[in-house]
Amino acid sequence: MPKKVILDVDTGIDDAVAILLAVHSPELEVLGIGTVHGNTTADVAAANTLRVLKAAGRLDIPVATGATRPLNQPLATSPLVHGEDGLGNLNLPHPQAAPSGEHAVDQIIRLAEAHPGEITLIATAPLTNLALALALEPRLSERIAEVVIMGGSAFYGGNLSAWAEANIGHDPEAAAAVFQAGWPVTMIGLDVTMQAWFTREMHAALGASPKPGAALAYEALRHYLDFYERFYGQGGCAQHDALAVAYAIDPSLVTTALLPVRIETRGEATRGMTVVDRRAFLADRAPFLFPDRNDWHTRVALAVDSERFLNLLMERLT
Q: Is 106 in the site for ligand RIB (CB under 6 A)?
A: no
Count the helices and strands in the chain (H runs, E runs): 14, 12
Closer by beta carbon to ligand RIB, 85 or else 165: 165
Q: Is 150 in the site for ligand RIB (CB under 6 A)?
A: yes
- Would you give the binding string for Ca ion spanning residues 102-141, x where CB under 5 A is met? ----------------------xx----------------
Closer by beta carbon to ligand RIB, 12 or else 66: 12
Among 14, 106, 277, 295, binds ligand RIB (CB under 6 A): 14
The option from ligand RIB, Ca ion, none interacting with 128 (CB < 5 to 8 A, set by class) reads: none
Q: What is the C-alpha to C-alpha distance for residues 228 and 237, in angstroms, rounded to an integer?
A: 6
Integer angstrom CA distances of residue 259 from 243, 274, 283, 284, 300: 20, 11, 7, 10, 6
Closer by beta carbon to ligand RIB, 150 or else 280: 150
Closer by beta carbon to ligand RIB, 126 or else 296: 126
Number of residues that bind ligand RIB (CB under 6 A): 15
In sequence order, what DSSP letters do the residues of 5-68 get, joined into one string?
EEEEE---HHHHHHHHHHHT-TTEEEEEEEE-SSSS-HHHHHHHHHHHHHHTT-TTS-EEE--S
Among 5, 6, 7, 12, binds Ca ion (CB under 5 A): 12
- Measured in degrees and rounded to the nearest 5, phi and psi for residue 136 equal -80, -35
Among 39, 180, 186, 274, binds ligand RIB (CB under 6 A): 39
Looking only at the bridges linking them, the beta strands covering 119-123 and 3-9 are parallel
231-260 residues near Ca ion, rule: CB under 5 A: 241
Residue 121 in contact with residue 30, Cβ under 8 Å?
Answer: no
| Beta sheet of 28-35, edge-to-edge order | 63-65, 28-35, 3-9, 119-123, 144-150, 185-188, 298-304, 254-259
Q: Is 38 in the site for ligand RIB (CB under 6 A)?
A: yes
Alpha helix stretches (DSSP H) within 181-296: 190-193, 200-207, 214-232, 240-249, 286-289
The option from ligand RIB, Ca ion, none interacting with 8 (CB < 5 to 8 A, set by class) reads: none
Q: Is 165 in the site for ligand RIB (CB under 6 A)?
A: yes
Report CA torsion sign: 115, 116, 119, 123: positive
CB of 38 to Ca ion, least distance (A): 6
Give the interface segment with ligand RIB, choosing from 12-20, 95-103, 127-135, 304-312 (CB under 6 A).
Answer: 12-20
240 is catalytic: yes
> Which contiguous run of DSSP H or E holds residue 106?
helix 104-114
CB of 191 to Ca ion, least distance (A): 17
Active-site pick, 37, 103, 223, 240:
240
Active site residues: 240
Residue numbers at the binding site for Ca ion (CB under 5 A): 10, 12, 15, 124-125, 241
